[in-house]
Structure 1
Amino acid sequence: MIDLTTIADFSRANCLGICAFLVPFNLLATVQTLIFIGLNRPQSQIFLISGFASLYSGLMVLHVFTWFMIGVVMIPTYVLLLLGTTCLGINIWAVLSPQSLRHILEKIVFWVQKIIGRVQNVAFN
């Protein structure tokens, strides 16, 4: 039988190593999901990368909950919880409705290109 107390103690005792692994992998995997959506990759590839990214996000949220269980309520716990839930939400969105996410990404890219064009016009005039 799995002892959740032991797992939670392990999570808290190795917090620095767990966060040093989960934060960059979570961000990279979620960005890769967004890139796959933007490049219109096949749904099977989006499912695969979203699955890994959701795994990292879910583990981060569970890790933060181990701190909440013992009453540690600090800014880093909220930041990590926000990061984990945001990435988890993006990955779920990528699986459930990739077309709407692609539409949003296209609007963001268009908006950024428009801003860069304005900055270049001002810089070279």
Structure 2
Amino acid sequence: MVESLFEFSRTHCIAICAFLVPANLLATLQAMIFTGIGRPIFQVGIMSAAALGYATLMLIHVISWWAIGVVMLPTYILPALAGVCLAINLICLLISATHFRPEIPWIDRRESFAVAWFLRQIGMV
């Protein structure tokens, strides 16, 4: 069973990486934005959990390559990316859990009224 999953992972490597890398980066970015604008920890946690899932799948994908002895630059870059994204998401969760709300000065300035209005309309502020 595991061997067939690993074979699937190696066969569809480009497609898997083309999905997991942007998904992990976008989920991490969204967790950072949610933390920065002061969304509840529940919402930050959902995005961090999504990034955790993407990072875990990415690590399993790389392990499938290591299992057959393939050691190349991407097999080091992808776990490093997963680790950085996991660290950022943990920091976001810690900031949200301690109710620390960093100031976002551009929201209160007059010239950014349109940005603040848009963020209020979509429910992010």
Tell me, yes or no, whether TM beats 0.5.
Answer: yes
Match of 2:63 among 56, 62, 65: 65
Q: TM (normalized to structure 1)?
A: 0.74
| 1:43 to 1:102, Cα distance in 2 relative to 1, 3 A | closer
CA contact (8 A) 2:62 2:78 kept: yes
Mark the runs of 5 or more structure 1 residues left unpaired by the alignment: 111-125
Q: 1 CA distance for matches of 2:70 and 2:98?
A: 35
Q: Identity rate of aligned residues, in percent? A: 43
Q: What letter is aligned with 2:32?
A: L
Aligned to 2:120: none
| 1:63 to 1:101, Cα distance in 2 relative to 1, 3 A | farther
CA contact (8 A) 1:38 1:102 kept: no
Deviation at 1:73, TM superposition (A): 0.7
Deviation at 1:100, TM superposition (A): 8.9
| 1:101 to 1:38, Cα distance in 2 relative to 1, 3 A | farther
RCO comparison, higher one (Cα < 8 Å, 6+): 2
Alignment partner of 1:49 is 2:47: yes
Q: What letter is aligned with 1:98?
A: I
Q: TM (normalized to structure 2)?
A: 0.74
Deviation at 1:62, TM superposition (A): 1.1
Where does 1:17-32 land on structure 2 (aligned, <5 Å)? 17-32=15-30
Match of 1:12 among 10, 13, 20: 10
Structure having the higher helix fraction is 1
Aligned to 2:117: none
- Equivalenced residues, count: 105
The ranges of structure 1 where at least 4 consecutive aligned residues each deviate by more than 6 angstroms after the TM superposition are 100-103
CA contact (8 A) 2:62 2:75 kept: yes
Q: 2 CA distance for matches of 1:8 and 1:99?
A: 37
